[in-house]
Amino acid sequence: MFDAVDTVKDLMAKATTATGLSVFTTVLDRVYETGKKASDELKASIRIVFDDVLPKWNYTALANPPQIDSTI
């Protein structure tokens, strides 16, 4: 289909939209370990906001601000 990662990167960088959205591309060539699970503490500290358009693909992970103990 494509002869190289750089070919895909270059094609994606040329993408535009009618509203003028600009695109940037980055190739991640690091090998990532699979199967790692997020801790319950981490999951509790992140709020996921799903977009109205394609919510399975478009979402934002927001870190909740740290809770400050008012008894200190």
State the pTM of this model.
Answer: 0.40
Domain ranges, residue 56: 38-65
Tell whether the model's pLDDT for residue 10 goes beyond 80. yes
User: Helix, strand or coil for residue 20?
Assistant: coil
The whole-angstrom separation of Cα 53 and Cα 30 is: 30
Residue 57 belongs to some domain of the structure: yes
Residue 55 belongs to some domain of the structure: yes
Residue 61 belongs to some domain of the structure: yes
Structural domain count, the chain? 1
Instruction: Say which amino acid occupies 6.
Output: D
Give the tens place of pLDDT for each residue, 12-70.
888 888 888 777 788 888 888 899 898 898 888 898 999 998 888 888 888 876 666 65
Residue 48 belongs to some domain of the structure: yes
